[in-house]
Amino acid sequence: MNRAVVLSIPVLSALVLLTLGSPTLAVGDSITAIPDDGAQTQEIVSMDECVRLARTENSGFLGESARLAEVKGQGRQTISEALPSVDITGAWSRSRDPSFALDETFGGGSDDASSDSTSSGFLLSPTEIPAQTYWRTSIDARWELNPGRIYNAIAGIGLTYRRQEEEVRARELDLIQDVLVAYDAVWVAGEALNAVESEMMTRSEALAVSRRRFQLDLATSLDTLQAAVSLANMEPERRRASQHLRDAGADLNILIGREPDQALTIEDTPTPPSVSLDDVGIKQMLEDRPDLTELRLAKRVLQKTRGARKSSHRPYLTLEGSYGFVGRDLETLTDDGHDFWSTRVALSIPVFDGFLTKGRVWETEASIVRTDHEIDEASRRAFQEVSRIQGELDAARQSLEASRLNADRAELLVTQMTQRYELGKAEYLEVLTAQSDRFQARSELIRARSDVFTLTVALKRALGLDPSLPFPGDVQ
């Protein structure tokens, strides 16, 4: 009766027939996160290729890079401080101006009405003067020379451009870190799925052993039922692991600028080398960290701004010039005698602007002091961040070694317990406990290896290094 109960579960029979993977993934293996149903072979995307695609296809990073063009545009605007302005002007006007008829030069303006030349007919009355048409064209130039403002403005825009470059570099390093972590997440999800399937294979073998022992009256139906239930309970775990793998692949696809559901197969992740840094080495490497460099450049920009604001209240020269033609019709506009020119040089000495310049300078100096404090605070926090990550990385490496030992021992214990159970020297509950311990040990090993990888990537990023490149040779 009990035997019939066991054999009447079709799901368990199907699970026993599953073709399952090897217990662990080896170097050179690949993981398919999102299969391509229409292809016979999957194209393997390496970690370096993912980084390259992220640099060239990630929309967020490309948008940040485009801001460099905005800064260049601002630079062209600032260069105008050092260059003269030149305008070509053309004008047409029509007017009647009787004022000259009222001037004493032409006999007007006398108190004696009898001497008024307009009454004698030599001059037209003001109301009878006809309107005149004038054409005028000229080239006008103006140049305001304030050397201090020009120098500080141009130097400031150069520093602003370098500051934006550092911002782009920081965004690039963040993107590379995200890509490497996502790549490792795909590998971890693949290892987790492989571990579940390997465990299912082991438990299906244990179920077969239990059935054979039951047929030989060496085990009870309870043992067989426990083995069947243990195997069935792994199926939801396998489905979750499979979905996690697909989700991890979709996240990586988005980071490298591809559609989430595009086919994706990756190769194994490299094992990071051991790294040990002293305090002096950390401080030297932090000098090139993008956010700290950006703050230092921001301070220099403020210093140039202060210089430009001070210069606005200092003497400056203004040069103006104009050359052109004026006439009553277009045909004679360029004839001799119709040209005109003018030049003007002015020295302006600002005396009082209502303390506007002084207030702006005070504001800028306060910003410089505030930026100094921000640099000190950011430097201390960066040093602490690196020290913390390095300590966590050292602990993670020790955990990885311990996890490897635990996994090996758990594997050996399952083998021994299975053999003892088959020989009737152990209860199935002991086998089940050993299997659960081994699955837990494998999971811990996967997490420990991932922790070492992600912390190594985080350490490189915290130091301002490209996470996809090895550490410099002097600190390996």
Whole-number pLDDT of residue 2: 34
Q: What distances in angstroms separate CA 247 from CA 166, 174, 241, 267, 407, one per listed residue? A: 32, 21, 10, 17, 27
pLDDT for the residue 104: 53
pLDDT, tens digit, for every residue of 333-359?
888 888 889 999 999 999 988 888 899
**Higher model confidence: residue 420 or residue 458?**
458
Rounded CA separation 240/243 (Å): 5
Q: What angle do CA 335, 341, 342 make, to 5 degrees?
A: 165
Q: Would you say residue 81 has pLDDT above 80? A: no
pLDDT for 240: 95
Nearest CA among 462, 460, 471, 467 for reference residue 378? 462
What confidence tier does 43 reach under pLDDT thresholds 50, 70, 90? confident
What pLDDT, on the 0 to 100 scale, is given for residue 113? 47
Cβ neighbours around 386 below 10 Å, total: 24
pTM of the model: 0.78
Helix boundaries (H) for 21-146: 47-57, 59-79, 117-120
Q: What architecture (CATH level 2) is domain 2-78+150-304+356-475? A: Up-down Bundle (1.20)
Q: What are the structural domain ranges in the chain? A: 2-78+150-304+356-475
Residue 122 binned pLDDT confidence (cut-offs 50, 70, 90): low
Answer whether residue 22 shows pLDDT above 90: no
Query: So what's the pLDDT on residue 260?
Result: 93
